Structure 1
Amino acid sequence: MRVAGPVLDSLRGLALGDAFGDRWFSVPADEAPAARAGRLARPAPWHWTDDTAMALVLVRHLATRGEVHQDTLAEQFAAEYTREYGRKYGPSMHRVLRGIGAGGDWRAITSGQFEGQGSHGNGAAMRVAPLGAWFADDLDEVARQAELQALTTHFHPEAVTGAVAVALAAALAVRSRGRTPPGRAELLTEVAGRLPDSEVRSGLRIAARMPGSTSVRHAATVLGSGLMISAPDTVPFALWSAAGHLDSLPEAIWHTLEGGGDMDTTCAIAAGVVAARTGLTDIPAAWLAAREELPDWVAEVSAES
Protein backbone atom coordinates (compact mmCIF):
# COMPACT_ATOMS: atom_id res chain seq x y z
CA MET A 1 0.00 0.00 0.00
CA ARG A 2 1.77 3.13 -1.24
CA VAL A 3 0.67 6.73 -0.64
CA ALA A 4 2.36 9.75 -2.20
CA GLY A 5 3.97 12.33 0.06
CA PRO A 6 1.57 15.22 -0.68
CA VAL A 7 -1.39 13.01 0.24
CA LEU A 8 0.10 12.14 3.62
CA ASP A 9 1.14 15.76 4.12
CA SER A 10 -2.44 16.85 3.52
CA LEU A 11 -3.79 14.16 5.83
CA ARG A 12 -1.41 15.07 8.63
CA GLY A 13 -2.12 18.77 8.19
CA LEU A 14 -5.86 18.12 8.26
CA ALA A 15 -5.53 16.10 11.47
CA LEU A 16 -3.40 18.79 13.09
CA GLY A 17 -5.82 21.57 12.15
CA ASP A 18 -8.75 19.51 13.36
CA ALA A 19 -7.19 18.78 16.76
CA PHE A 20 -5.84 22.32 17.14
CA GLY A 21 -9.21 23.90 16.39
CA ASP A 22 -11.25 21.51 18.49
CA ARG A 23 -9.15 22.26 21.58
CA TRP A 24 -10.36 25.87 21.52
CA PHE A 25 -13.99 24.95 22.18
CA SER A 26 -13.04 24.45 25.83
CA VAL A 27 -11.73 28.01 26.21
CA PRO A 28 -14.14 30.32 28.09
CA ALA A 29 -15.60 32.96 25.78
CA ASP A 30 -14.18 35.83 27.82
CA GLU A 31 -10.66 34.38 27.64
CA ALA A 32 -10.53 33.30 24.01
CA PRO A 33 -9.83 36.68 22.32
CA ALA A 34 -6.80 37.40 24.49
CA ALA A 35 -5.50 33.85 24.11
CA ARG A 36 -5.82 34.02 20.34
CA ALA A 37 -4.27 37.48 20.19
CA GLY A 38 -1.33 36.23 22.22
CA ARG A 39 -1.15 33.07 20.14
CA LEU A 40 -1.23 30.92 23.22
CA ALA A 41 -1.72 27.38 21.96
CA ARG A 42 -3.90 25.23 24.19
CA PRO A 43 -2.37 22.66 26.56
CA ALA A 44 -2.00 19.06 25.42
CA PRO A 45 -3.49 16.70 24.57
CA TRP A 46 -5.11 17.69 21.27
CA HIS A 47 -7.51 15.01 20.09
CA TRP A 48 -8.80 14.87 16.54
CA THR A 49 -12.48 14.48 15.72
CA ASP A 50 -14.73 12.97 13.05
CA ASP A 51 -13.05 15.22 10.45
CA THR A 52 -9.85 13.20 10.76
CA ALA A 53 -11.56 9.86 11.40
CA MET A 54 -13.35 10.08 8.06
CA ALA A 55 -10.29 11.44 6.23
CA LEU A 56 -8.33 8.42 7.45
CA VAL A 57 -10.98 6.10 6.05
CA LEU A 58 -10.92 7.93 2.73
CA VAL A 59 -7.13 7.83 2.35
CA ARG A 60 -6.93 4.17 3.28
CA HIS A 61 -9.72 3.44 0.81
CA LEU A 62 -7.78 5.19 -1.96
CA ALA A 63 -4.62 3.37 -0.98
CA THR A 64 -6.29 0.00 -1.45
CA ARG A 65 -8.68 0.79 -4.30
CA GLY A 66 -7.01 3.61 -6.22
CA GLU A 67 -10.31 5.43 -6.68
CA VAL A 68 -13.64 5.82 -4.92
CA HIS A 69 -15.88 2.75 -4.84
CA GLN A 70 -18.98 4.16 -3.21
CA ASP A 71 -20.56 1.01 -1.79
CA THR A 72 -17.33 -0.03 -0.08
CA LEU A 73 -16.51 3.49 1.09
CA ALA A 74 -19.94 3.94 2.65
CA GLU A 75 -19.52 0.66 4.52
CA GLN A 76 -16.07 1.70 5.70
CA PHE A 77 -17.32 5.06 6.97
CA ALA A 78 -20.02 3.23 8.91
CA ALA A 79 -17.56 0.69 10.33
CA GLU A 80 -15.23 3.46 11.49
CA TYR A 81 -18.16 5.26 13.11
CA THR A 82 -19.01 2.10 15.05
CA ARG A 83 -15.43 1.93 16.35
CA GLU A 84 -15.04 5.68 16.98
CA TYR A 85 -18.55 7.05 17.52
CA GLY A 86 -17.23 9.36 20.25
CA ARG A 87 -15.33 11.48 17.69
CA LYS A 88 -18.00 14.24 17.73
CA TYR A 89 -19.96 13.21 14.66
CA GLY A 90 -22.83 15.54 13.81
CA PRO A 91 -26.46 14.58 14.49
CA SER A 92 -27.33 13.79 10.88
CA MET A 93 -24.21 11.64 10.49
CA HIS A 94 -25.22 9.59 13.53
CA ARG A 95 -28.42 8.72 11.69
CA VAL A 96 -26.76 8.12 8.33
CA LEU A 97 -23.88 5.99 9.57
CA ARG A 98 -25.99 3.98 11.98
CA GLY A 99 -28.39 3.24 9.14
CA ILE A 100 -25.62 2.15 6.79
CA GLY A 101 -24.00 0.10 9.54
CA ALA A 102 -27.31 -1.68 10.09
CA GLY A 103 -27.32 -2.80 6.46
CA GLY A 104 -29.32 0.01 4.89
CA ASP A 105 -28.75 1.28 1.34
CA TRP A 106 -26.61 4.41 1.62
CA ARG A 107 -28.34 5.95 -1.40
CA ALA A 108 -31.76 5.73 0.20
CA ILE A 109 -30.47 6.84 3.59
CA THR A 110 -28.55 9.90 2.42
CA SER A 111 -31.23 11.05 -0.03
CA GLY A 112 -33.90 10.63 2.63
CA GLN A 113 -32.32 13.11 5.04
CA PHE A 114 -34.07 16.44 5.66
CA GLU A 115 -37.30 15.56 3.84
CA GLY A 116 -35.55 14.33 0.74
CA GLN A 117 -33.08 17.19 0.32
CA GLY A 118 -30.13 15.43 1.93
CA SER A 119 -27.66 17.05 4.28
CA HIS A 120 -25.93 20.21 3.09
CA GLY A 121 -23.50 19.99 6.01
CA ASN A 122 -19.74 20.46 5.81
CA GLY A 123 -18.82 16.84 6.54
CA ALA A 124 -18.05 15.85 2.96
CA ALA A 125 -15.73 18.86 2.61
CA MET A 126 -13.89 18.49 5.91
CA ARG A 127 -12.35 15.11 4.99
CA VAL A 128 -11.59 15.52 1.29
CA ALA A 129 -8.35 17.54 0.96
CA PRO A 130 -6.10 14.44 0.76
CA LEU A 131 -8.22 13.15 -2.13
CA GLY A 132 -7.45 16.37 -4.00
CA ALA A 133 -3.76 15.72 -3.43
CA TRP A 134 -4.19 12.12 -4.61
CA PHE A 135 -5.65 13.07 -8.02
CA ALA A 136 -3.83 16.39 -8.40
CA ASP A 137 -2.56 15.57 -11.89
CA ASP A 138 -6.12 15.65 -13.31
CA LEU A 139 -8.47 18.37 -12.02
CA ASP A 140 -11.47 16.86 -13.77
CA GLU A 141 -10.81 13.61 -11.95
CA VAL A 142 -10.38 15.50 -8.68
CA ALA A 143 -13.87 16.91 -9.09
CA ARG A 144 -15.37 13.57 -10.11
CA GLN A 145 -13.83 11.60 -7.25
CA ALA A 146 -14.67 14.30 -4.70
CA GLU A 147 -18.29 14.15 -5.77
CA LEU A 148 -18.38 10.36 -5.55
CA GLN A 149 -17.03 10.33 -1.99
CA ALA A 150 -19.36 13.15 -0.92
CA LEU A 151 -22.50 11.39 -2.10
CA THR A 152 -21.91 8.43 0.20
CA THR A 153 -22.97 10.60 3.15
CA HIS A 154 -24.25 13.91 1.73
CA PHE A 155 -26.90 13.99 -0.99
CA HIS A 156 -27.43 17.77 -1.10
CA PRO A 157 -25.71 19.49 -4.08
CA GLU A 158 -24.24 22.23 -1.87
CA ALA A 159 -22.47 19.65 0.29
CA VAL A 160 -21.14 17.95 -2.84
CA THR A 161 -19.98 21.25 -4.34
CA GLY A 162 -18.26 22.19 -1.08
CA ALA A 163 -16.32 18.94 -1.16
CA VAL A 164 -15.33 19.46 -4.79
CA ALA A 165 -14.13 22.98 -3.99
CA VAL A 166 -11.87 21.81 -1.16
CA ALA A 167 -10.46 18.96 -3.22
CA LEU A 168 -9.68 21.29 -6.12
CA ALA A 169 -7.97 23.77 -3.81
CA ALA A 170 -5.79 20.99 -2.38
CA ALA A 171 -4.92 19.77 -5.87
CA LEU A 172 -3.89 23.27 -6.92
CA ALA A 173 -1.79 23.57 -3.76
CA VAL A 174 0.02 20.35 -4.66
CA ARG A 175 0.62 21.59 -8.20
CA SER A 176 2.34 24.67 -6.80
CA ARG A 177 4.88 22.74 -4.69
CA GLY A 178 8.37 24.04 -5.36
CA ARG A 179 7.05 27.12 -7.15
CA THR A 180 5.57 30.48 -6.24
CA PRO A 181 2.03 29.81 -4.99
CA PRO A 182 -0.99 31.31 -6.71
CA GLY A 183 -2.38 34.47 -5.17
CA ARG A 184 -5.49 34.28 -3.04
CA ALA A 185 -7.80 35.72 -5.69
CA GLU A 186 -6.22 33.54 -8.40
CA LEU A 187 -6.73 30.28 -6.51
CA LEU A 188 -10.26 31.08 -5.37
CA THR A 189 -11.28 32.23 -8.84
CA GLU A 190 -9.92 29.08 -10.46
CA VAL A 191 -11.73 26.85 -7.97
CA ALA A 192 -15.00 28.78 -8.36
CA GLY A 193 -14.73 28.57 -12.13
CA ARG A 194 -14.81 24.78 -11.98
CA LEU A 195 -17.95 24.60 -9.82
CA PRO A 196 -21.63 24.52 -10.77
CA ASP A 197 -23.91 27.43 -9.91
CA SER A 198 -24.29 27.23 -6.12
CA GLU A 199 -24.03 29.13 -2.87
CA VAL A 200 -20.55 27.70 -2.41
CA ARG A 201 -19.43 29.11 -5.76
CA SER A 202 -20.98 32.48 -4.97
CA GLY A 203 -19.19 32.55 -1.63
CA LEU A 204 -15.85 31.79 -3.26
CA ARG A 205 -16.35 34.55 -5.81
CA ILE A 206 -17.12 37.01 -3.04
CA ALA A 207 -14.03 35.80 -1.18
CA ALA A 208 -11.87 36.28 -4.29
CA ARG A 209 -12.97 39.91 -4.58
CA MET A 210 -12.18 40.81 -0.97
CA PRO A 211 -9.36 43.36 -0.63
CA GLY A 212 -6.04 42.15 0.70
CA SER A 213 -6.58 44.26 3.80
CA THR A 214 -9.76 42.39 4.79
CA SER A 215 -9.62 41.27 8.41
CA VAL A 216 -10.27 37.69 9.41
CA ARG A 217 -13.27 38.69 11.50
CA HIS A 218 -14.81 40.62 8.61
CA ALA A 219 -14.25 37.73 6.22
CA ALA A 220 -15.82 35.32 8.70
CA THR A 221 -18.82 37.61 9.13
CA VAL A 222 -19.39 37.96 5.38
CA LEU A 223 -18.59 34.40 4.32
CA GLY A 224 -19.61 32.49 7.45
CA SER A 225 -17.24 30.36 9.48
CA GLY A 226 -19.27 27.22 10.02
CA LEU A 227 -21.69 28.32 12.73
CA MET A 228 -24.50 26.80 10.66
CA ILE A 229 -22.40 23.64 10.03
CA SER A 230 -23.25 23.90 6.33
CA ALA A 231 -20.97 23.73 3.31
CA PRO A 232 -21.87 27.23 2.03
CA ASP A 233 -21.27 28.64 5.53
CA THR A 234 -17.90 26.89 5.93
CA VAL A 235 -16.02 26.25 2.71
CA PRO A 236 -15.63 29.80 1.29
CA PHE A 237 -14.11 31.13 4.52
CA ALA A 238 -11.84 28.13 5.08
CA LEU A 239 -10.50 28.36 1.52
CA TRP A 240 -10.16 32.15 1.75
CA SER A 241 -7.95 31.62 4.79
CA ALA A 242 -5.94 28.82 3.21
CA ALA A 243 -5.44 30.70 -0.05
CA GLY A 244 -3.94 33.64 1.79
CA HIS A 245 -1.33 31.55 3.61
CA LEU A 246 -0.17 28.90 1.19
CA ASP A 247 3.44 29.20 2.37
CA SER A 248 2.83 28.89 6.12
CA LEU A 249 0.78 26.18 7.75
CA PRO A 250 0.96 27.71 11.27
CA GLU A 251 -0.23 31.09 9.93
CA ALA A 252 -3.07 29.42 8.04
CA ILE A 253 -4.22 27.64 11.19
CA TRP A 254 -4.00 30.72 13.43
CA HIS A 255 -5.82 32.94 10.95
CA THR A 256 -8.54 30.36 10.39
CA LEU A 257 -9.00 30.02 14.13
CA GLU A 258 -9.58 33.79 14.36
CA GLY A 259 -12.81 33.32 12.44
CA GLY A 260 -14.40 31.33 15.26
CA GLY A 261 -17.38 29.21 14.31
CA ASP A 262 -16.84 25.50 13.57
CA MET A 263 -13.15 25.80 14.40
CA ASP A 264 -12.13 22.16 14.16
CA THR A 265 -13.62 21.87 10.67
CA THR A 266 -12.46 25.21 9.26
CA CYS A 267 -8.96 24.59 10.59
CA ALA A 268 -9.00 21.02 9.22
CA ILE A 269 -10.01 22.22 5.76
CA ALA A 270 -7.52 25.08 5.61
CA ALA A 271 -4.67 22.99 7.02
CA GLY A 272 -5.40 20.07 4.71
CA VAL A 273 -5.11 22.38 1.72
CA VAL A 274 -1.98 24.25 2.84
CA ALA A 275 -0.13 21.16 4.08
CA ALA A 276 -0.63 19.58 0.66
CA ARG A 277 1.86 22.24 -0.49
CA THR A 278 4.08 22.79 2.55
CA GLY A 279 4.02 19.61 4.59
CA LEU A 280 4.54 20.00 8.35
CA THR A 281 8.16 21.15 8.31
CA ASP A 282 7.48 24.57 9.89
CA ILE A 283 5.12 23.36 12.62
CA PRO A 284 6.38 24.07 16.18
CA ALA A 285 7.69 21.00 17.96
CA ALA A 286 5.30 21.64 20.85
CA TRP A 287 2.35 21.35 18.47
CA LEU A 288 3.59 18.03 17.14
CA ALA A 289 4.03 16.73 20.68
CA ALA A 290 0.54 17.88 21.72
CA ARG A 291 -1.39 16.33 18.81
CA GLU A 292 -2.94 12.90 19.00
CA GLU A 293 -1.00 10.38 16.94
CA LEU A 294 -2.52 8.96 13.79
CA PRO A 295 -2.92 5.18 13.41
CA ASP A 296 0.22 3.12 12.86
CA TRP A 297 -0.68 2.36 9.24
CA VAL A 298 -0.08 6.01 8.31
CA ALA A 299 3.55 5.77 9.36
CA GLU A 300 3.85 2.42 7.60
CA VAL A 301 2.64 3.72 4.24
CA SER A 302 4.86 6.76 4.69
CA ALA A 303 7.88 4.51 5.10
CA GLU A 304 6.91 2.65 1.94
CA SER A 305 6.37 5.77 -0.15
Structure 2
Amino acid sequence: MISRRAAAGYSMRGLALGDAFGETWFRRPVDSVEREIRERRLSPGPWPWTDDTAMALPLLRMLDEDGAVDQDRLALAFANTYDADRDRGYGPSMHRVLREIGEGEPWRAVTSRQFGGQGSWGNGAAMRVAPLGAWFADDLAEAARQAAEQARVTHAHPEAVAGSVAVALAAALAVLGLPSDQLIATVAAHVEDGEVASRLRRAVGIRPVVDPRHAAAVLGCGLQISAPDTVPFAIWCAARHLDDLHEALWATASAGGDVDTTCAIVGGIVAGRTGLTGIPDAWTTAAEPLPGWLTHLT
Protein backbone atom coordinates (compact mmCIF):
# COMPACT_ATOMS: atom_id res chain seq x y z
CA MET A 1 0.00 0.00 0.00
CA ILE A 2 1.35 3.44 -0.92
CA SER A 3 2.01 6.03 1.76
CA ARG A 4 -0.62 8.62 2.57
CA ARG A 5 1.78 11.31 1.32
CA ALA A 6 2.01 9.56 -2.05
CA ALA A 7 -1.76 9.02 -2.12
CA ALA A 8 -2.25 12.76 -1.60
CA GLY A 9 0.18 13.47 -4.42
CA TYR A 10 -1.66 11.15 -6.78
CA SER A 11 -4.97 12.63 -5.66
CA MET A 12 -3.63 16.08 -6.56
CA ARG A 13 -2.56 14.83 -9.99
CA GLY A 14 -5.96 13.23 -10.56
CA LEU A 15 -7.74 16.39 -9.44
CA ALA A 16 -5.72 18.53 -11.85
CA LEU A 17 -6.18 16.08 -14.71
CA GLY A 18 -9.94 15.92 -14.10
CA ASP A 19 -10.08 19.70 -13.91
CA ALA A 20 -8.21 20.14 -17.20
CA PHE A 21 -10.15 17.33 -18.90
CA GLY A 22 -13.47 18.80 -17.76
CA GLU A 23 -12.50 22.31 -18.82
CA THR A 24 -12.00 21.16 -22.44
CA TRP A 25 -15.78 20.78 -22.81
CA PHE A 26 -16.32 24.46 -22.09
CA ARG A 27 -14.16 25.29 -25.10
CA ARG A 28 -16.31 23.30 -27.57
CA PRO A 29 -19.40 24.35 -29.53
CA VAL A 30 -22.39 23.55 -27.31
CA ASP A 31 -24.26 21.67 -30.00
CA SER A 32 -21.38 19.24 -30.54
CA VAL A 33 -20.36 18.46 -26.96
CA GLU A 34 -22.82 15.64 -26.29
CA ARG A 35 -21.89 13.89 -29.55
CA GLU A 36 -18.16 14.30 -28.97
CA ILE A 37 -18.40 12.91 -25.44
CA ARG A 38 -20.43 9.96 -26.71
CA GLU A 39 -17.82 9.35 -29.43
CA ARG A 40 -14.97 10.10 -26.99
CA ARG A 41 -13.38 12.74 -29.19
CA LEU A 42 -11.12 15.07 -27.26
CA SER A 43 -9.30 18.30 -27.98
CA PRO A 44 -5.60 17.56 -28.61
CA GLY A 45 -4.59 20.21 -26.11
CA PRO A 46 -3.27 22.14 -24.41
CA TRP A 47 -5.70 21.60 -21.53
CA PRO A 48 -5.29 24.36 -18.93
CA TRP A 49 -6.50 23.75 -15.42
CA THR A 50 -8.71 26.19 -13.52
CA ASP A 51 -9.27 27.62 -10.06
CA ASP A 52 -10.04 24.09 -8.82
CA THR A 53 -6.39 23.13 -9.19
CA ALA A 54 -5.04 26.60 -8.42
CA MET A 55 -6.62 26.46 -4.95
CA ALA A 56 -5.87 22.79 -4.28
CA LEU A 57 -2.14 23.32 -4.76
CA PRO A 58 -1.52 25.76 -1.85
CA LEU A 59 -3.71 23.61 0.38
CA LEU A 60 -1.65 20.50 -0.33
CA ARG A 61 1.61 22.44 -0.07
CA MET A 62 0.59 23.58 3.41
CA LEU A 63 -0.02 19.98 4.43
CA ASP A 64 3.31 18.94 2.96
CA GLU A 65 5.18 21.66 4.84
CA ASP A 66 3.24 21.88 8.09
CA GLY A 67 1.11 18.74 8.34
CA ALA A 68 -2.12 20.61 9.09
CA VAL A 69 -4.30 23.52 8.03
CA ASP A 70 -3.49 26.96 9.42
CA GLN A 71 -6.51 29.03 8.43
CA ASP A 72 -4.82 32.43 8.57
CA ARG A 73 -1.91 31.33 6.44
CA LEU A 74 -4.16 29.43 4.06
CA ALA A 75 -6.33 32.49 3.49
CA LEU A 76 -3.25 34.48 2.57
CA ALA A 77 -1.98 31.67 0.32
CA PHE A 78 -5.30 31.57 -1.53
CA ALA A 79 -5.25 35.37 -1.93
CA ASN A 80 -1.67 35.34 -3.20
CA THR A 81 -2.45 32.55 -5.67
CA TYR A 82 -5.41 34.52 -6.95
CA ASP A 83 -3.41 37.74 -7.21
CA ALA A 84 -0.73 36.00 -9.27
CA ASP A 85 -3.23 34.62 -11.81
CA ARG A 86 -6.83 35.84 -11.73
CA ASP A 87 -7.80 34.23 -15.04
CA ARG A 88 -8.39 30.70 -13.78
CA GLY A 89 -12.19 30.84 -13.84
CA TYR A 90 -12.83 31.94 -10.25
CA GLY A 91 -16.49 32.47 -9.43
CA PRO A 92 -17.82 36.02 -8.98
CA SER A 93 -18.01 35.80 -5.20
CA MET A 94 -14.48 34.38 -4.95
CA HIS A 95 -13.08 37.29 -6.94
CA ARG A 96 -14.46 39.57 -4.25
CA VAL A 97 -13.49 37.36 -1.30
CA LEU A 98 -9.90 36.76 -2.39
CA ARG A 99 -9.36 40.36 -3.46
CA GLU A 100 -10.56 41.66 -0.09
CA ILE A 101 -8.44 39.17 1.84
CA GLY A 102 -5.46 40.17 -0.27
CA GLU A 103 -6.13 43.80 0.62
CA GLY A 104 -5.76 42.92 4.29
CA GLU A 105 -9.32 42.36 5.50
CA PRO A 106 -9.74 39.55 8.05
CA TRP A 107 -10.92 36.42 6.24
CA ARG A 108 -13.59 35.61 8.83
CA ALA A 109 -15.27 38.97 8.29
CA VAL A 110 -15.02 38.68 4.51
CA THR A 111 -16.44 35.17 4.21
CA SER A 112 -19.17 35.55 6.83
CA ARG A 113 -20.77 38.56 5.14
CA GLN A 114 -21.20 36.88 1.75
CA PHE A 115 -24.76 36.36 0.51
CA GLY A 116 -26.41 38.51 3.14
CA GLY A 117 -24.50 37.00 6.02
CA GLN A 118 -25.19 33.36 5.13
CA GLY A 119 -21.78 32.76 3.62
CA SER A 120 -21.21 31.03 0.29
CA TRP A 121 -22.53 27.50 -0.17
CA GLY A 122 -20.68 27.14 -3.46
CA ASN A 123 -18.66 24.11 -4.49
CA GLY A 124 -15.25 25.81 -4.22
CA ALA A 125 -14.32 24.32 -0.85
CA ALA A 126 -15.19 20.82 -2.07
CA MET A 127 -13.42 21.04 -5.42
CA ARG A 128 -9.96 21.46 -3.84
CA VAL A 129 -10.11 19.15 -0.83
CA ALA A 130 -9.64 15.57 -2.08
CA PRO A 131 -5.83 15.53 -1.57
CA LEU A 132 -6.41 16.56 2.05
CA GLY A 133 -8.69 13.55 2.49
CA ALA A 134 -6.01 11.26 1.10
CA TRP A 135 -3.42 12.90 3.36
CA PHE A 136 -5.46 12.15 6.51
CA ALA A 137 -6.78 8.75 5.40
CA ASP A 138 -5.45 7.12 8.58
CA ASP A 139 -7.72 9.28 10.75
CA LEU A 140 -11.22 9.92 9.37
CA ALA A 141 -12.18 12.23 12.22
CA GLU A 142 -9.13 14.38 11.54
CA ALA A 143 -9.80 14.32 7.81
CA ALA A 144 -13.29 15.67 8.47
CA ARG A 145 -12.04 18.30 10.92
CA GLN A 146 -9.29 19.56 8.64
CA ALA A 147 -11.65 19.59 5.65
CA ALA A 148 -14.06 21.79 7.59
CA GLU A 149 -11.24 24.10 8.71
CA GLN A 150 -10.03 24.68 5.16
CA ALA A 151 -13.58 25.16 3.86
CA ARG A 152 -14.42 27.96 6.29
CA VAL A 153 -11.54 30.09 5.02
CA THR A 154 -13.60 30.93 1.92
CA HIS A 155 -17.05 29.36 2.45
CA ALA A 156 -18.91 30.05 5.70
CA HIS A 157 -22.18 28.30 4.85
CA PRO A 158 -22.68 24.91 6.60
CA GLU A 159 -23.58 23.20 3.31
CA ALA A 160 -20.27 24.23 1.73
CA VAL A 161 -18.50 22.85 4.80
CA ALA A 162 -20.52 19.63 4.56
CA GLY A 163 -19.58 19.29 0.89
CA SER A 164 -15.91 19.67 1.72
CA VAL A 165 -16.13 17.08 4.50
CA ALA A 166 -17.95 14.65 2.20
CA VAL A 167 -15.32 14.85 -0.54
CA ALA A 168 -12.44 14.54 1.93
CA LEU A 169 -14.01 11.45 3.52
CA ALA A 170 -14.69 9.90 0.11
CA ALA A 171 -11.05 10.41 -0.85
CA ALA A 172 -9.84 8.96 2.46
CA LEU A 173 -12.10 5.92 2.19
CA ALA A 174 -11.01 5.35 -1.41
CA VAL A 175 -7.37 5.28 -0.30
CA LEU A 176 -8.26 2.85 2.48
CA GLY A 177 -9.71 0.44 -0.09
CA LEU A 178 -13.37 0.61 0.90
CA PRO A 179 -15.52 -1.28 -1.64
CA SER A 180 -17.44 0.83 -4.14
CA ASP A 181 -20.82 -0.33 -2.90
CA GLN A 182 -20.12 0.97 0.61
CA LEU A 183 -18.53 4.32 -0.18
CA ILE A 184 -21.52 6.64 -0.53
CA ALA A 185 -23.43 5.32 2.47
CA THR A 186 -20.33 5.52 4.66
CA VAL A 187 -19.70 9.12 3.64
CA ALA A 188 -23.36 10.05 4.16
CA ALA A 189 -23.30 8.59 7.67
CA HIS A 190 -20.43 10.89 8.65
CA VAL A 191 -21.71 14.17 7.16
CA GLU A 192 -23.76 16.57 9.26
CA ASP A 193 -27.44 16.43 8.35
CA GLY A 194 -28.54 18.89 5.68
CA GLU A 195 -29.01 19.09 1.94
CA VAL A 196 -25.62 17.57 1.05
CA ALA A 197 -26.27 14.62 3.37
CA SER A 198 -29.83 14.26 2.09
CA ARG A 199 -28.70 14.03 -1.51
CA LEU A 200 -25.94 11.60 -0.58
CA ARG A 201 -28.56 9.34 0.98
CA ARG A 202 -30.56 9.66 -2.22
CA ALA A 203 -27.45 8.72 -4.20
CA VAL A 204 -27.14 5.46 -2.25
CA GLY A 205 -30.30 4.24 -3.97
CA ILE A 206 -29.15 5.07 -7.51
CA ARG A 207 -27.67 1.89 -8.96
CA PRO A 208 -24.24 2.01 -10.67
CA VAL A 209 -25.76 0.80 -13.95
CA VAL A 210 -27.88 3.97 -14.23
CA ASP A 211 -26.79 6.43 -16.91
CA PRO A 212 -24.93 9.34 -15.24
CA ARG A 213 -27.30 11.76 -16.94
CA HIS A 214 -30.21 10.22 -15.06
CA ALA A 215 -28.27 10.40 -11.79
CA ALA A 216 -27.55 14.06 -12.50
CA ALA A 217 -31.25 14.71 -13.05
CA VAL A 218 -31.88 13.48 -9.50
CA LEU A 219 -28.80 14.81 -7.72
CA GLY A 220 -27.70 17.80 -9.81
CA CYS A 221 -24.35 18.10 -11.56
CA GLY A 222 -23.11 21.53 -10.60
CA LEU A 223 -25.31 23.74 -12.75
CA GLN A 224 -26.22 25.70 -9.62
CA ILE A 225 -22.53 25.91 -8.60
CA SER A 226 -23.51 24.86 -5.08
CA ALA A 227 -22.12 22.12 -2.86
CA PRO A 228 -25.46 20.25 -2.62
CA ASP A 229 -25.88 20.38 -6.39
CA THR A 230 -22.32 19.17 -7.09
CA VAL A 231 -20.85 16.93 -4.39
CA PRO A 232 -23.36 14.04 -4.21
CA PHE A 233 -23.25 13.50 -7.98
CA ALA A 234 -19.44 13.62 -8.05
CA ILE A 235 -19.18 11.09 -5.21
CA TRP A 236 -21.72 8.85 -6.98
CA CYS A 237 -19.60 8.96 -10.16
CA ALA A 238 -16.42 8.24 -8.22
CA ALA A 239 -18.01 5.28 -6.44
CA ARG A 240 -19.32 3.97 -9.78
CA HIS A 241 -15.76 3.67 -11.12
CA LEU A 242 -13.64 3.65 -7.98
CA ASP A 243 -10.88 1.56 -9.55
CA ASP A 244 -10.89 3.10 -13.03
CA LEU A 245 -9.99 6.78 -13.29
CA HIS A 246 -10.33 6.86 -17.08
CA GLU A 247 -13.91 5.58 -17.06
CA ALA A 248 -14.80 7.68 -14.02
CA LEU A 249 -13.89 10.89 -15.83
CA TRP A 250 -15.78 9.99 -18.99
CA ALA A 251 -18.87 9.03 -16.98
CA THR A 252 -18.74 12.30 -15.04
CA ALA A 253 -18.35 14.44 -18.15
CA SER A 254 -21.24 12.72 -19.90
CA ALA A 255 -23.77 14.41 -17.61
CA GLY A 256 -22.59 17.95 -18.39
CA GLY A 257 -23.00 20.68 -15.79
CA ASP A 258 -19.97 22.19 -14.01
CA VAL A 259 -17.75 19.62 -15.68
CA ASP A 260 -14.33 20.90 -14.65
CA THR A 261 -15.36 20.85 -10.98
CA THR A 262 -17.21 17.53 -10.98
CA CYS A 263 -14.30 15.91 -12.85
CA ALA A 264 -11.78 17.53 -10.49
CA ILE A 265 -13.60 16.08 -7.48
CA VAL A 266 -13.89 12.64 -9.09
CA GLY A 267 -10.27 12.70 -10.25
CA GLY A 268 -9.09 13.61 -6.76
CA ILE A 269 -11.09 10.84 -5.10
CA VAL A 270 -10.23 8.03 -7.53
CA ALA A 271 -6.57 8.84 -8.27
CA GLY A 272 -5.62 8.68 -4.60
CA ARG A 273 -6.51 5.00 -4.87
CA THR A 274 -5.42 4.18 -8.45
CA GLY A 275 -2.77 6.73 -9.33
CA LEU A 276 -2.93 7.66 -13.01
CA THR A 277 -3.12 4.01 -14.10
CA GLY A 278 -5.07 3.61 -17.33
CA ILE A 279 -4.84 7.26 -18.36
CA PRO A 280 -3.66 7.66 -21.98
CA ASP A 281 -0.27 9.32 -22.42
CA ALA A 282 -1.93 11.84 -24.71
CA TRP A 283 -4.03 13.10 -21.78
CA THR A 284 -1.10 13.70 -19.47
CA THR A 285 0.79 15.38 -22.32
CA ALA A 286 -2.14 17.67 -23.13
CA ALA A 287 -2.86 18.65 -19.52
CA GLU A 288 -1.12 21.70 -18.11
CA PRO A 289 1.92 20.66 -16.05
CA LEU A 290 1.88 20.91 -12.27
CA PRO A 291 4.59 22.66 -10.20
CA GLY A 292 7.85 20.81 -9.74
CA TRP A 293 7.60 20.68 -5.93
CA LEU A 294 4.82 18.10 -6.26
CA THR A 295 7.25 15.51 -7.69
CA HIS A 296 8.61 14.36 -4.35
CA LEU A 297 5.14 13.35 -3.15
CA THR A 298 4.75 10.66 -5.82
Q: Fold match, TM over 0.5?
A: yes
Paired AA for residue 62 in structure 2: H
Paired AA for residue 162 in structure 1: G
Paired AA for residue 268 in structure 1: A
Gaps of 5+ in 2: none
- The separation in 1 between residues aligned to 2:5 and 2:141, in whole angstroms, is 19
Whether 1:5 and 2:6 are equivalent positions in the alignment is yes
Paired AA for residue 64 in structure 2: A
- The separation in 1 between residues aligned to 2:208 and 2:81, in whole angstroms, is 41
Return the offset for 1:70.
0.4
- The separation in 1 between residues aligned to 2:287 and 2:209, in whole angstroms, is 32
Match of 1:114 in 2: 115
Kindly, what percent of the aligned residue pairs are identical? 60
Whether 1:199 and 2:219 are equivalent positions in the alignment is no
The 8 Å contact of residues 21 and 265 in structure 1, kept in 2 or not, is answered as yes
Return the offset for 1:84.
1.4
Match of 2:278 in 1: 282
Return the offset for 1:125.
0.1
- The separation in 2 between residues aligned to 1:149 and 1:264, in whole angstroms, is 21
Trace 1:256-267 onto structure 2 (pairs within 5 A): 256-267=252-263
- Number of matched residues? 296
Q: CA-to-partner distance for each residue in 1:66-110, whole Å, 9 max, x for gaps?
A: 100100110110010000111110000001000100000000000
The 8 Å contact of residues 19 and 48 in structure 1, kept in 2 or not, is answered as yes
- The separation in 2 between residues aligned to 1:286 and 1:87, in whole angstroms, is 23
Alignment CA distance shift 1:209-1:145 (3 Å): same
Trace 1:233-252 onto structure 2 (pairs within 5 A): 233-252=229-248
List structure 1 segments (4+ residues) > 3 angstroms apart after TM superposition.
Answer: none
Q: TM-score, normalised by structure 1?
A: 0.95
- The separation in 2 between residues aligned to 1:81 and 1:19, in whole angstroms, is 18
- The separation in 2 between residues aligned to 1:102 and 1:281, in whole angstroms, is 43
Match of 2:179 in 1: 182
Match of 1:99 in 2: 100
Gaps of 5+ in 1: none
Match of 1:131 in 2: 132
Whether 1:172 and 2:173 are equivalent positions in the alignment is yes
The 8 Å contact of residues 4 and 137 in structure 2, kept in 1 or not, is answered as no
Return the offset for 1:211.
2.5
The 8 Å contact of residues 3 and 63 in structure 1, kept in 2 or not, is answered as no
Whether 1:217 and 2:217 are equivalent positions in the alignment is no
Return the offset for 1:3.
7.8
